[in-house]
Amino acid sequence: MPGQPNVTAVRAPARSEGVGSLLRPPPLKAMFDRIYSPHSSHVAALLTEPEQAALSELNDIAEQAIRDAVSRQIALGLDVVTDGELRRAHYVNSLFDGLSGLAESEVPEFFAGDEDVAPPPEPIARERLRVVSNPLAQEVAFLRSITDHPCKVAIQTPSSLFFPAARYDAATYPTRDAFVDEIVAVVKELVAGAIAAGARCIQFDYPLFPAMADPDKRDELLAGSDVDFDAILSKALAADNAVL
């Protein structure tokens, strides 16, 4: 297609690809800092009107950065390329930017002392979650418009919502299981939309299982709960498998 990066020979199965986000160019990083720094949760729907208006400028900068990143990945010989998640405030936003019913959240205590690896606080579900847009499908559509090279996008796993850091209003979701069930339905809808937009490779991010393999984090995860390790592991596996 005109204007697309040249497609090089790729290996099947793929043997080289990026795992996570790419570094933002300085102008893009400055835009993110300016728009999102006043907020605890990095969710587009929670921005003020002036901040919302600035998103279109941010998106223009991000799209050029994505074009450059995709060209660079192809030139380096990667079998699968990504958009570097360069239009997301945080990697979880392929999920949360598509939902209504969210509010700002306090910084979770679960990651106290681990600031280097802690994500920003996830928003709290104050109302029943509803899909109002599909950021994942939008990322796929843009990638497909600029290259025929194999590409992938990533979305947060439902199992990650078993973390104590995941917040929901008990008046809306009486149990964590009910909250995760809603997330399963939401993620299935977003993934289906991404596939319809042309996705052939979707990466699941931030699953619960590495934390459950760490004895210290596992103890924190289960503290004050009457659910034992095997029970929560089974629920987490079932949640992710429901989407798969």
pLDDT digits (tens, 9 = 90+) for 173-220: 999 899 999 999 999 999 999 999 999 899 999 898 888 888 887 877
The residue type of 31 is M
- Can you give the pLDDT at residue 118? 56
| pTM for the structure as a whole | 0.88
H-helix segments, the chain: 26-36, 49-75, 93-96, 135-146, 176-196, 209-213, 215-222, 229-243
Q: Which of 68-77, 93-102, 176-185, 224-233 has the lowest mean pLDDT?
A: 224-233
Place of tokens 């299935």: 188
The three-class DSSP label of residue 99 is strand
Reported residue count of the chain is 244
Place of tokens 């106290």: 112
Q: What is the pLDDT of residues 26-47, one digit of tens each?
A: 999 999 999 998 887 789 989 9
Helix (H) or strand (E) holding 124: strand 124-131
Q: Closest Cα to residue 206, out of 112, 104, 122, 87? A: 122
Contact 124, 138 (CB under 8 A): no
Instruction: Retrieve residue 3's tokens.
Output: 């204007």
Q: How many CB atoms lie within 10 A of CB 170?
A: 10
Residue 47 and residue 207: Cα distance in Å, rounded?
Answer: 27
Query: Residue 15 above 60 pLDDT?
Result: yes
Q: How many CB atoms lie within 10 A of CB 10?
A: 17
Which DSSP state fits 10? Answer: -
Which DSSP state fits 17? Answer: B
Residue 41 and residue 96: Cα distance in Å, rounded?
Answer: 10
Helix (H) or strand (E) holding 202: strand 202-205
Instruction: Retrieve residue 129's tokens.
Output: 């979650």
